[in-house]
Amino acid sequence: MAMGKLKIGIIGMGGIANYHIWGIENSPDAELYAICDVNEKALAERGETLGIPPERRYSRHEDILADSEVDAVMIGTPNMNHFAVALDAIRFGKPFALEKPIALDTKEALVLREELAGKPVPHIVCFSYRYRGAVRYARELIESGKLGEIRHVYSQYLQGWAISEEVPLYWRFSKELSGSGALGDLGSHILDLHRFLVGETTSVVGHGDTIVRERDKLDGSGKGEVDVDDFCHVLGRMENGISSSMQISRFAYGRGNYQRIEVYGSKGSLVYNLEAEDTLEANFEDEEGDFRFLDVPESYKSDQMQAFFDLLKGKDDGLNATIEDGYINQRTIDAIIESFSEGRWVSAQ
């Protein structure tokens, strides 16, 4: 690995790339060196804007992975490409950060898991809410026993952007391109946070459905079918007798990026709220009073991109998500889909 600044490549110049670029620009340890996108017009435009010379703009991901000057890549393509690009990154031995979900189904996720087992490559999976200070502090409080035995975890992740039927048939509305709908897009984050905070989900029963079943195709050729879930509500059995619930929707009127997790134990409770500036409320048996806001110590606050760069430089706090976490996440997503398709409890293990 380079002794100076890490030379980072970005694969996929869609919306999430802006977050990756911001993370690179705000790190003292990295620089944006190369970019890649199949849309050559967008590639040229972004290349000019970002000051990336033409010889470091790639239309094939294999070519940026083969560039020996690139120390690592951020993979932010649409979901249907995550598996193929990550698999090639492993085979090229190129360190990578991969957006979630890691694949379209468990079968693909298992291939990545097995490939990495035979050829380990430094990497993270971008379950980005693991890096919130309030989440990390909550995890520490739970592990310290401050809440006693955990009984329940209740979670919501609600957005409202899909309510209008005038929203066209983006790739996120196609099973072939995204794997699932609101479940994989939003629910994957909640499932990961449940694991990160309290442990494994062992079985699930879910109700998911599609509210707007047809939307205008992007090419103007008429209507196309929406074949993924617009919402998904899940009950989960977790290890150690914990019972969980998860409410996921793109049809929650007035919600932008509303994320809330409540954890109830025998001696206390915690409430995490993303929209309220990453806050944490608590009510503890050994303290008088009702719920109060906790001051989240600075030491718990982290940054996903910097954590990746730290990993590449040999500093790992052990809290990054890996392909193993992504595999377990995908296995649970597939169990939920099976559950709401068949109307029964399904094992998530």
When pLDDT is cut at 50, 70 and 90, the band that residue 3 belongs to is low
pTM for the predicted model, two decimal places: 0.94
Coil vs helix vs strand at 314: coil
Q: Are 205 and 348 in contact (CB under 8 A)?
A: no
pLDDT score recorded for residue 289: 86
Percent of the chain residues topping a pLDDT of 70: 99
Percent of the chain residues topping a pLDDT of 90: 96
Assess whether pLDDT exceeds 60 at residue 136.
yes
Token pair of 97 as six digits: 């950060």
Least confident of 2-6, 268-272, 286-290, 318-322: 2-6
CATH superfamily entry for domain 132-300+322-347: Dihydrodipicolinate Reductase; domain 2 (3.30.360.10)
pLDDT score recorded for residue 52: 97
∠ CA 120-123-127 to the nearest 5 degrees? 135
> For the chain, what is the mean pLDDT?
96
Give the mean pLDDT of 202-206.
98
Contacts of 128 (CB under 8 A, 6+ apart): 189, 304
Question: Boundaries of CATH 3.40.50.720 in the chain?
Answer: 6-128
190 backbone dihedrals φ, ψ, rounded to 5°: -65, -45
Assess whether pLDDT exceeds 90 at residue 203.
yes
* Ramachandran quadrant class, 60 (left: phi over 0; alpha: psi -120 to 50; beta: rest): beta
When pLDDT is cut at 50, 70 and 90, the band that residue 277 belongs to is confident
Which letter does DSSP use for residue 187 in this model?
A: I
pLDDT score recorded for residue 323: 98
When pLDDT is cut at 50, 70 and 90, the band that residue 112 belongs to is very high
Beta strand 279-284 with 268-273: parallel, antiparallel or unpaired? antiparallel
Domain spanning 6-128, CATH architecture: 3-Layer(aba) Sandwich (3.40)
> Looking up tokens 């294999």, which residue turns up?
62
Assess whether pLDDT exceeds 60 at residue 123.
yes
Token pair of 108 as six digits: 């693909």
Question: Boundaries of CATH 3.30.360.10 in the chain?
Answer: 132-300+322-347
When pLDDT is cut at 50, 70 and 90, the band that residue 1 belongs to is low
Provide the β-strand partners of residue 158. Answer: 249, 258
Give the mean pLDDT of 112-135.
96
pLDDT in tens, 167-179: 999 999 999 999 9
pLDDT score recorded for residue 276: 67
Q: Are 156 and 258 in contact (CB under 8 A)?
A: yes
